[in-house]
Chain A
Amino acid sequence: MQPQSIALLQRIDYDVEQILQKFQHIFEVSRNQDKPKELLAVESLTIESDALTIIRYCEDLLSISRAVKETWCLGTLKVTNEDDKFINEKELDKIFNKFNTLTDQIAQFQEKSQLSTV
């Protein structure tokens, strides 16, 4: 695997892990028995900050998906089955003849038109 993809996978893993951890932390912290007032105040702020962190990581996941799509669209070389369409002699002849008749038609029209106008 390419180092870039490994890094991306690691980032995804890390994000998900962080989201779960923070979520769990919210629940742990919301319990309040026999805690002093000061701790409760800190904890209620922690809940909010955890929530914001979760949201941030979710946004990060979205941006990862965007990056993946971008590399997918821009970073890859398109391989078309050009080999299947390789031109064989016969087809070349066909084009050759067609083109020649086209040229002839353009060149020869002259006399015909003269004939018809006179």
Chain B
Amino acid sequence: MTSSGGFRIDLDPDTYGSGYKDPFIQDEDKLSLADLIPRILIERNSFLDVTEANLPEEIANGNIEELLQPDVQITDGSLEPEQEDPSETFQQQRINLQKNINSALNETSLSLDFVSLLISAVKPNLAKATISPHLQKNVPIGSLNSDRLIRKDEDEDGEPSRTNGDKKDNNHGVGQAWKVQSLNKITSLFREASINLNEQVLKERRYWNMINLVLSNDEALFKTRDPYNNARAIGVKYGYGDSGASFRDKGLAILRKDTTSGEVSFHPISNVSNKVSEKNFKYIRVKILSEIDGDFMLTGQSIFENNFNNNSNAQIINDIEKARFFLFEEDLFYQLTREAKTLINYNVSIISNKIIIEINHEIIEIESVFYDENNDDELNNYYQNINSYSSLNNKKCQLILIYLKLMLCCYFKYNLKLKQKVPTALTKFKRSNTHPLILRPLLGNIRHELNLNNMKEIIANLCKKFDNDIEFKINNIEKFANLKHKSANPFQKSIERPLSDVNLILKNKKNNQYLRIDLELTTNEIFVNLIINLNIIRYKNHDDFSSNLNGVNVLQISFNDFNEIEECLEWTILNFVN
């Protein structure tokens, strides 16, 4: 361009032909559109009030315009302060701002580089993160260092030394004050923390003391989470889940810690929803109604025998014991109803919260009753013991209750034994199909006793009837012959079906023949049916009988009915007599 500028002086303007006076004036027709449009804009300022009338006028004044044009050119080249176009200034300012920002950015990155380099001597890793690649390439890291310059006290100069001394004192004072301030602060921090920690230690102590108390009561503890707020907590297994109970409620509870005092409180959780549940306590009451003059009257009732508050001075233990007691009662009633369902054919019925057993002019009622701590009268049966009749069977009721509970324990033990066995198909089957033996043995034993009495009566009647022809000898009546073979289980009498032997020897007075009648009273696994096994052997003479030789088996048959056996015996004896 500069060289072309040099040429321009020598060039004759006429060579252009178009008559341009100023070489700076560019040919409008040759300008690119991008240059042309701003030019026109600058010339005209605004197109707002362009009219058709204006335009021919403008064209007519073309010459003037051409005259004006050099002016425009001049102003275009230099800045024209007269023309204050807002968009223009805005543009300019924007450009300025951009420039400034760019330079500021540049400055900042430079200073960052500088600081990075400075720091690289002390902390190279930190510096590496911020230093620019360019600097890193060209200057080795850690090559710049700095040190603080402390102005020495100038002794020769009086004034500066004093001010310096003042400054130092001042510095010293400020530093000291800071230290004192923070020391004061940490003193109060420590004090607060010590109070806090002390409180916590006390809380912990209270908490663990109580936990330990529970533990020393032989409870099984386990880690769990409180369903209430999902916090970690210690749980207690107060139920019989691990002791062979198959009840749906496994007896789990949370020992919840009171955050303010550290006290532990007992909250049973239900198995179904895993929520803390408030339980309604229920207990079992046994009643006996006897038929007196055609009416059933209450003759006995068990009492509630438990006073939880005397066992221990700690509330938590009492709570656990109480929950355990009622869980057992609940379990017992559940098992009883389960068993009672199978006994509906034998005069056992279930009505809501009651199991009713009808047997031999008596009704035994086993009911589940809500426990009300404050209702002393009901718990102790004050109203019931009004006369001698009404308390006649009290003791028996109590015994039945004890019996039921014992049998449930026995069932637990059986379950536990099953659990300990090597799992096989059989034990698995047994485990899922066990039924407790509680009600059946109770009923079975009562029935057996009745049956035995009946049998005795029949035999006595027969004796009377054939007294003339036959010499009767009741050899022995052995009750519970099955107990001769003792097993290790002390509950044998109730888990095995009862079996009694009756042994009769008949001697015909005419021909000295002997007849031995063996009767075996027993039942099946339901415990309530009657099964009588009869076995009759006839001997020709006394010698044969005593040596048990040449006996003829006359009959060997089983009965389920007293009428049948009575007939059968009568017929046999009649046959024997003749």
Q: Which residues of A approach B to under 8 Å, CB–CB?
A: 26, 30, 32, 35-37, 40-41, 43-45, 47-48, 50-52, 54-55, 58-59, 62, 65-66, 69-70, 73-74, 78, 80, 92, 95-96, 99-100, 102-111, 113-114, 116-117
Are B218 and A44 within 8 A (Cβ)?
Answer: no
Are B396 and A47 within 8 A (Cβ)?
Answer: no
Residue of B nearest to A91 (CB): B490
B197 cross-chain contacts in A, Cβ below 8 A: 58-59, 62
Instruction: Pick the contact of B193: A44, A50, A55, A96 (CB < 8 A).
Output: A55
Between A and B, 30 residue pairs with Cβ closer than 8 Å are: A26-B186, A30-B183, A35-B175, A37-B174, A37-B175, A40-B174, A40-B175, A48-B189, A50-B186, A55-B189, A59-B197, A62-B201, A66-B204, A73-B215, A73-B234, A74-B234, A92-B490, A96-B493, A99-B493, A100-B483, A102-B403, A102-B406, A103-B493, A103-B494, A106-B396, A107-B445, A110-B359, A110-B450, A113-B299, A117-B392
- Distance in angstroms between the alpha carbons of A78 and B219 in the assembled complex: 10
- Distance in angstroms between the alpha carbons of A59 and B200 in the assembled complex: 10
Q: Assuming A58-B197, A62-B204, A99-B406, is B361 touching A114 (CB within 8 A)? A: yes
B208 cross-chain contacts in A, Cβ below 8 A: 69, 73
Are A109 and B393 within 8 A (Cβ)?
Answer: yes
Q: Which residues of B approach A to under 8 Å, CB–CB?
A: 148, 171-172, 174-176, 178-179, 181-183, 185-186, 189-190, 193, 197, 200-201, 204, 208, 211-212, 215, 218, 221-223, 234, 290, 292, 299, 359-362, 389, 392-393, 396, 399-400, 402-403, 406, 441-442, 445-446, 448-450, 453, 480, 483, 486, 488, 490-494
B491–chain A nearest beta-carbon distance, Å: 6
Are B360 and A110 within 8 A (Cβ)?
Answer: yes
A90–chain B nearest beta-carbon distance, Å: 12
- Distance in angstroms between the alpha carbons of A14 and B274 in the assembled complex: 41
Are B174 and A58 within 8 A (Cβ)?
Answer: no
Residue of B nearest to A56 (CB): B193
Instruction: Pick the contact of B182: A45, A54, A62, A73 (CB < 8 A).
Output: A45
The 9 A-B pairs with the shortest beta carbon distances in the complex, nearest first, are A40-B175, A51-B186, A44-B182, A44-B178, A95-B490, A107-B449, A107-B445, A55-B193, A96-B490
| Of listed B186, B200, B361, B445, residue having the most chain A CB within 10 A | B186
